[in-house]
Structure 1
Amino acid sequence: MPDPSDDLDPSATSTPSSALGEVPPEAWGGVQRGPLREGEWVRLTDSKGRRHNLELVAGKRFFSNRGHLEHDDLIGREEGFTVTSSAGGTYLVFRPLLAEFVVSMPRGAAVVYPKDAAQIVAMADVFPGATVVEAGVGSGALTCSLLRAVGPHGRVLSWERREEFADVARRNVRQFFGGDHPAWTLHLGDLAEGLVSSGERADRIVLDMLAPWECVPAVADALVPGGIVCAYVATTTQLSRVVETLRAHGGFTEPQPWESLVRDWHVEGLAVRPGHKMIGHTAFLVTARRMAPGERAPRKSRRPAPGAYGVDYSGPRPDWLPPQSAEEQLDG
């Protein structure tokens, strides 16, 4: 549940504890069951795979190049049916999945794609009841996955510097869950400053920001021993800087960097081949675990590659690396 002290912070948007009794438990996962109801969002998919998301409003019409549909013809029916428009277009009707919602929702900042959100939830081991710190919130895509993972009795504490992004994220999260999720608190401000002043302790910290290495000292103070930090960065220079900063800090296990690539397949009779499109590079992910106070992880047994930390390297250096000799500096 949100900390009561958040009510004293004008930059925080939190949900009072009474909301637990106001939000149906089935809405905390963002999944609705039963007949479609007014106010819900549905996804229409035509025969060519084109998709349309719309909010059901009694008496309203949906228009496309294949004619129109009456919302009243959808309300009250179980999802998973087909409907025909006035011009003969056929549409498949379902409630949108989370993975479908986040790639089509309104955006303030770029979204964390489902393939990366799934990796973060799994590889950062986000669990029900966890306290998870997130920075920044972007458009709220990752926030939805984190809230679903921690459940109503966990906490997701999000920090976002830009108010316009926070507003977009707030609307998107409310739309997906059908209201204010009781586990979410959204702060406007800088994580490095706000996390320290809040005194919060976290099980997991996810950094989706331009310079996550700047937050490593604050992250180290806030993470419980055994907790996990996960950084989401777009470029190789960011990847190198965050890995080396975590390594040089000394209070984390050896950082693990990776990326995931997703390719679909065409399967039709004997025509079985890779699809023409794939979701390639979106971002790099880095995870590391927090050591207990005063403890340090064992040094890497494998020596760095020659020149890895040569004269051209200007980033953080692990303290166990010997200083460069004159010959190494000349060799570059």
Structure 2
Amino acid sequence: MPFKEGDLVVFLDHQDRSFRKVLKEHGRLQTHRGFIDHRDLFGKESGSAVRTSKDKEFYVFYPTLVDYTMNMPRMSGIVYPKDAAYMLMWGDIFPGARVVTGGVGSGALILALTRQVGTTGCVFGYDVRQDMLDHAAQNVSELFGEVPPQLTLKIGNLYREIEEDSIDTVMLDVPEPWEVVRPAAKVMKPGGVFVAYCPTIRQVDILTQELRSSTSFGLVDTVEILVRSWHVRERSVRPNHRMVGHTGFVTIARRIIRVRPPVEALEPEAEFSEETTTSDTLNE
């Protein structure tokens, strides 16, 4: 689809540096490598090469979700694409899914969820701050052209109550995700997925203890996603010296229906010592 006025585009230079712009009749991209008038792009296709006033080459694309997420305006930290991709896959987000998420923040996770559930699904985004909701709505509108009907952004405290029911997935980026375990259990479908993003291992520890002591969740697991790209040239193949390291941890659990308390509650872990081992051996 050819570029036209009002389109959101991304300019990429030879070092893969990106510049996000909305095309305007009298707009101009100004860089140290020269300028490009927006009107010179009208009618060109995504992926076209253009040259600046200093004869330097740029490529122009419609932004992918990753392009937009990494370049959108922010009022807070975001869930980065490497973590969001894992969360969507293990969170089993499908077209038609009903998903509750919070906090909304700058909207990175909201963007991914909204696109993934499609027009037949629902995403309910909670935040305690109206300015965050407004900022996220602005980012969503810039990428999609509007706030899609499948997305509902609302003021609310997930620690106290989730108003919706029949929820397939609860996906969190909040400071105390363990506070949402009980409210989530009340509204999730059996077999549903609980997903939480935590920057620190202490948060993971508290959350995991809460999930494992609950009669409503099981199959608890935590992962950390590390991404390393490779330098591949004709005579040089090696890992890049820089890599995307720690950003956070992702904890996953499943909504289950237990007929008895957790095993941990029934069978406390035995404490072994040299004396106990010797005594047990002699009594056999």
Work out whether the TM-score is over 0.5: yes
What is aligned with 1:67? 34
**SS, match of residue 143 in structure 2:** helix
TM-score of the superposition, structure 2-length normalised?
0.91
**SS, match of residue 288 in structure 1:** strand
Do structure 1's residue 122 and structure 2's residue 89 form an aligned pair?
A: yes
Kept in 2, the 8 Å contact 1:62–1:69? The answer is yes
Q: Which amino acid aligns with 1:216?
A: V
Write the distance in 2 (CA, Å) between the matches of 1:286 and 1:61: 44
Residue ranges of structure 1 left out of the alignment (5+ in a row)? 1-33, 300-317, 328-332
Kept in 1, the 8 Å contact 2:215–2:262? The answer is no
Deviation at 1:42, TM superposition (A): 0.9
Kept in 2, the 8 Å contact 1:252–1:297? The answer is no
Kept in 1, the 8 Å contact 2:213–2:262? The answer is no
Deviation at 1:321, TM superposition (A): 4.6
**SS, match of residue 132 in structure 2:** helix
What is aligned with 1:285? 250
What is aligned with 1:267? 232
C-alpha change, 1:137 and 1:193, in structure 2 (3 Å) is same
Kept in 2, the 8 Å contact 1:252–1:296? The answer is no
C-alpha change, 1:296 and 1:260, in structure 2 (3 Å) is farther
Deviation at 1:130, TM superposition (A): 0.4
Q: Which amino acid aligns with 1:170?
A: A
1:276-300 CA distance string (max 9 Å, x none): 11111111111111113x535873x
**SS, match of residue 35 in structure 2:** strand
Deviation at 1:111, TM superposition (A): 0.9
**SS, match of residue 265 in structure 2:** coil
Q: Of the candidates 126, 136, 152, which is equivalent to residue 185 of structure 1?
A: 152
Write the distance in 2 (CA, Å) between the matches of 1:323 and 1:297: 15
C-alpha change, 1:296 and 1:144, in structure 2 (3 Å) is farther
- Taking the TM superposition and a 5 Å limit, the aligned residue runs for 1:295-314 are 295=259, 299=263
- Taking the TM superposition and a 5 Å limit, the aligned residue runs for 1:1-332 are 34-195=1-162, 198-292=163-257, 295=259, 299=263, 318-322=264-268
C-alpha change, 1:231 and 1:237, in structure 2 (3 Å) is same
TM-score of the superposition, structure 1-length normalised?
0.78
Write the distance in 2 (CA, Å) between the matches of 1:144 and 1:117: 10
C-alpha change, 1:295 and 1:185, in structure 2 (3 Å) is farther
Residue ranges of structure 2 left out of the alignment (5+ in a row)? 274-284
Moved more, 177-186 or 161-170: 161-170
Q: Which amino acid aligns with 2:259?
A: E
Write the distance in 2 (CA, Å) between the matches of 1:287 and 1:62: 43
The percentage of aligned residue pairs carrying the same residue is 38
Deviation at 1:193, TM superposition (A): 2.8
